[in-house]
Amino acid sequence: MVRRARELVVATSKAVGTEPTRRDFLYIATATVGAVGAASATWPLISQMNPDASVLALSSAEVDLTPIAEGQIITIKWRGKPVFISHRTKKEIDDARAVKMDDLKDPQTDEARVKKGKDQWLVLVGICTHLGCVPLGHEGQYNGWFCPCHGSVYDTSGRIRQGPAPTNLEVPPYEFASDTSIKIG
Amino acid sequence: MSGDSDFQPKNPVLKWIERRLPILSFVNSSFVSYLVPRNLNYWWTFGGILTVMLAVQIVTGIVLVMHYTPTSAEAFNSVEHIMRDVNYGWLLRYIHANGASMFFLAVYIHIFRGLYYGSYKEPREILWILGVIIFVLMMAAAFMGYVLPWGQMSFWAATVITNLFTAIPLVGKAITQWLWGGYAVDQPTLQRFFALHYLLPFMIVGVVVLHIWALHHVGQGNPTGIDVKSDRDTIPFTPYATVKDNFALICFLIVFAWFVFYIPNYMGHPDNYIPANPLQTPPHIVPEWYFLPFYAILRAIPNKLMGVVALFGSIGVLAFLPWLDTSKVRSARFRPLYKQFFWVLVVVCIGLGYLGSKPAEGAYVIIARILTAYYFLHFLVILPALGYLETPRPLPTSISEPVLPRKSAAAVGRKG
């Protein structure tokens, strides 16, 4: 028995650099099964940090638009985030539509950012696309939004015009539930 | 570098323990008879100071947890409860909050000591990299701790810093929502930050043990940067270094106490006494002072992804220092050009800190860009080039030579 084991060791050491032995196969197979097992055991530990069922459940909000005067911007909370609803004046709409696409960092027409026939209503996630601060309304060079944290400037369509933010303010998924109310989410 | 290991306790109980677990001789050879270069100056006392600061933070942190509530509704109130109702709660919280600042003050001195005296050079590369890892863990712990009071600055610091991860292409948003446990910083974020804030200090303890192990294996550097050559170059850790470390520690604690008792809110931000409001960003948000240079680097770059890369790069570059510095001479004492560039770097880092506290507009942004460029230039161009361009001054033959009379001279002196 001992002799048999010794022969095996000799055979294994001889095999180094030549043919893989059955033992090499067993080592690799065992290590692979172990690694896959460890990785799958880690998954629940990672996944538990993702948004849970109760957070996912709070995903829509209904807003009545009648109290919002022309030229006013209100902020509501949706999924824990601020959402801006801007009742734009004619001048604000015209300003947003007069911009040439070449001047935009993230080119998008104003028409594509509002619902057809509801041009005065602009709905935006109120989070700067740079690092997540809440921009201030009716501020900045384009009289749209200005982020006080790192100086990003948005126009009256919520499009990025200056500063470090890479993209336009996001338009959340929403629809008009009636002529005077919207459902976000 | 370890001292004599033939330590044997006389007491029969200690003898009994020692035979089963040689912990007494281990402590003796590590902290008593352990030999250190005889010329260590006060810049070498900050390792000990940092160890004490880590212990202070852990002890005060554990007792604060006995009164703190990690929920978005109660966190702010529970901190006020600690300040007003808990016996000595004000003291414990002020020690913990100012302790974080003092910890960073000490670690920055410790890091610049390493830069000046070339402490990262062969054979101390791993010792240095472990130090960089400790620094990163410290930054994570400090950031998460700052979020816990759930004031306006806590909330918006958490928002801005977690949003750094949205800069990662493709998966950035998913990673950020995973960090938050939601669609914005909220209750799940606070609760996990609390869990991690409790964990990180103990991870730091683990890496500190490796750091000290590596240090005791290769031995302390010293202000001349030359290796220990004989017994005449060293002295035992106890009493010499112990006494010096303790004296420096007491001086440091006096400064610490001055902050805690006289100006406890000097390094904080008044906006953090306003409860967190997810719908309103304060007009001017700044991180704690110890993050300001890195914050300035982040804001100096006009591109989001590159700004984040520069921020992490400015810390990551330190880990490569042992290979970026091509000079064979360790100490800046004998490197006339490096010495000047070292002080320029110090001024640049302080300048970046100042700019980080200012709004990101006009001339501030332009100067921040210049200083950011210089910061990287220092590590990536100047340091590698200096090793070839600079003629170092002659090194002394040994550590003891400039300070001790030579053997023959001493002998002559005794005869006369």
Q: Residues B313-336: pLDDT tens digits?
A: 999 999 999 999 999 999 999 999
Optimal mutation site among A42, A55, A73, A83, interface B, most CBs of chain B within 10 A: A55
How confident is the model at residue A11, as a pLDDT? 57
Residue B317 falls inside a structural domain: no
Domain with B109 in it: 41-287
| Backbone region of residue A159 per phi and psi (left: phi > 0; alpha: psi in -120 to 50; beta: other values) | beta
What pLDDT was estimated at residue B416?
37
Percentage of chain B surpassing pLDDT 70? Answer: 96
Residue B73 included in any domain? yes
Q: Name the residue of chain B whose CA is nearest to A80's CA.
A: B184
* pLDDT exceeds 60 at position A81: yes
Whether residues B134 and B13 share a domain: the answer is no
The β-bridge partners of A107 are: none
Which range scores top for mean pLDDT: A24-33, B163-172, B402-411?
A24-33
Residue in B183, B280, B304 nearest the CB of A81: B183
Of A4-18, A53-67, B198-212, the range with the highest mean pLDDT is: B198-212
State the pLDDT confidence band at B66, using cuts at 50, 70 and 90. Answer: very high
The residues, any chain, with a CB within 8 Å of residue B281's CB and separated by 6 or more, are A133, A134, A147, A148, A149, B156
Report the predicted TM-score, pTM, of the whole model to 2 decimal places: 0.88
> Hey, how many other C-beta atoms are within 10 angstroms of the C-beta on B150?
26
The per-residue pLDDT for range A88-106, each reduced to its tens digit, is: 999 999 988 988 888 898 9
Do B238 and B163 belong to one domain?
A: yes
CA dist., res. A78 & res. A55, Å (int): 11
Kindly state the tokens that stand for A36: 């896959």
Residues B70 and B18 in one domain: no
Between CA B350 and CA B332 the distance in angstroms is 20
At residue B2, the pLDDT reads 47
Residue B50 shares a structural domain with residue B100: yes
> Which of B257, B287, B317 is the C-terminal boundary of a domain?
B287
B178 to chain A nearest CA, in Å?
A: 4
Contact indicator for B276, B155 with CB cutoff of 8 Å: yes
What is the reported pLDDT for B190? 97
Kindly report the backbone phi and psi dihedral angles of residue B327, in degrees, each rounded to the nearest multiple of 5, phi listed first: -75, 140
Residue B66 lies in a domain: yes
**Which amino acid belongs to residue A98?**
A
Distance CA B183, CA A51 (A): 8
pLDDT of residue A5: 55
Nearest to B163 among A131, A148, A151 (CB): A131
**DSSP-based three-state secondary structure for B91:** helix
* Nearest C-alpha in B relative to A130: B304
For chain B, what is the domain count? 2
Query: Which pair of tokens denotes residue B200?
Result: 């990180």
In total, chain B counts a number of residues equal to: 416
| A121-162 tens-digit pLDDT | 999 999 999 888 899 999 888 989 998 888 889 999 999 998
- What average pLDDT score do residues B236-243 get? 94
Residues of B in contact with A50 (CB under 8 A): 177-178, 181
Confidence of residue B411 (pLDDT cuts 50, 70, 90): very low
The reply to whether B18 and B72 lie within a common domain is no
Each residue's pLDDT tens digit, B79-136: 999 999 999 999 999 999 999 999 999 999 999 999 999 999 999 999 999 999 999 9
B81 domain residue, yes or no = yes
Q: Which of B240, B271, B287 is the last residue of a domain?
A: B287
Residues with Cβ < 8 Å from B302, sequence gap 6 or more? A163, A164
Q: Say yes or no: B13 and B132 in one domain.
A: no
- For A126, name the nearest residue in chain B, comparing CA atoms only: B279
- CA A100, CA A159: separation in Å to the nearest integer? 12
Whether residues A164 and B177 touch (CB distance < 8 A) is answered with no
Q: Which residues contact B312 (CB under 8 A, 6 or more apart)?
A: none
Q: Which among B249, B268, B287 is the end of a domain? A: B287
A98: burial class by Cβ within 10 Å (0-12, 13-18, 19+)?
A: exposed
Confidence of residue B1 (pLDDT cuts 50, 70, 90): very low
Regarding whether B91 and B73 lie in a shared domain, the answer is yes
Q: Across chain A, what does the average pLDDT equal? A: 87
**What is the average pLDDT across B154-166?**
91
Q: Is residue B355 part of a domain?
A: no
pLDDT above 80: residue B410 = no
pLDDT at B128: 98
User: Using H for helix, E for strand and C for coil, what is the string for chain A?
Assistant: CHHHHHHHHHHHHHHCCCCCCHHHHHHHHHHHHHHHHHHHHHHHHHHCCCCCHHHHHCCCEEEECCCCCCCCEEEEEECCEEEEEEECCHHHHHHHHHCCHHHCCCCCCCHHHCCCCCCCEEEEECCCCCCCCCCEEEECCCCEEECCCCCCEECCCCCEEECCCCCCCCCCCEEEEECCEEEEC
Torsion sign across C-alpha atoms B160, B165, B170, B171: negative
CA distance B400 to B407: 11
Instruction: Answer whether B285 sits within 8 Å of A77, measured CB to CB.
Output: no
Is B18 in contact with B8 (CB distance < 8 Å)? yes
Predicted local confidence at residue A164, as pLDDT: 84
- Does residue B156 share a domain with residue B239? yes
Let me know if residue B293 belongs to a domain: no
- Sign, CA dihedral B304-B305-B307-B311, equals positive
Check residue B387 and give its pLDDT: 93
Which residue in A56, A150, A160, A170 has the most chain B C-beta atoms within 10 A of its own C-beta, making it the best mutation to test that interface?
A150
Residue B268 covered by a domain: yes
- A164 CB neighbours in chain B (<8 A) are 299, 301-304, 307
Same-domain pairing of B176 and B249 = yes
Cα maximum dimension of chain A: 96
Distance CA B408, CA B416 (A): 12
What backbone torsions phi and psi does residue B135 show, to the nearest 5 degrees?
-60, -45
The answer on B278 and B249 residing in a single domain is: yes
Chain A contact residues (CB < 8 Å to B) = 46, 49-52, 55, 75, 77, 79-82, 126-127, 130-134, 147-151, 163-166
- Smallest CA-to-CA distance from A183 within A63, A34, A78 is with A63
Q: What is the pLDDT of residues B13-57, one digit of tens each?
A: 999 999 999 999 999 999 999 999 999 999 999 999 999 999 999
Please give the interface size between A and B, counted as residue pairs whose CB atoms are below 8 Å apart.
Answer: 89
Contact A80 B182 (CB under 8 A): yes
**Spatial separation of the C-alpha atoms in residues B373 and B294, rounded to whole Å:** 13
A150 flagged as catalytic: yes
pLDDT at B3 over 90: no
Is residue B4 located within the same domain as residue B83?
Answer: no
Task: Choose among A46, A81, A149: nearest Cβ to B281.
Answer: A149
pLDDT at A120 over 60: yes
Q: Residue B319 and residue A64: Cα distance in Å, rounded? A: 56
Residue B62 lies in a domain: yes
- What does the alpha-carbon distance between residue B268 and residue B388 come to, in Å, rounded to a whole number? 45
CATH of the domain at B189: 1.20.810.10
3-state SS, residue B275: strand
Secondary structure of chain B: what % helix, strand, coil (to 5)? 70, 0, 30
Q: How confident is the model at residue A10 (pLDDT cuts 50, 70, 90)?
A: low
B23 and B69 co-located in one domain: no
- pLDDT tens digits for range B291-304: 999 999 998 888 88
Count of Cβ atoms closer than 10 Å to residue A32 Cβ:
10
- B235 contact partners, CB below 8 Å, separation of at least 6: B35, B36, B38, B241
- How high does pLDDT run on average in chain B? 93
CA-to-CA distance for B181 and B125, rounded, in angstroms? 38
In this structure, what are the phi and psi dihedrals at residue B17, rounded to the nearest 5 degrees? -65, -50
Q: Of the candidates B63, B123, B138, B49, which has an alpha carbon nearest to the alpha carbon of residue B96?
A: B63
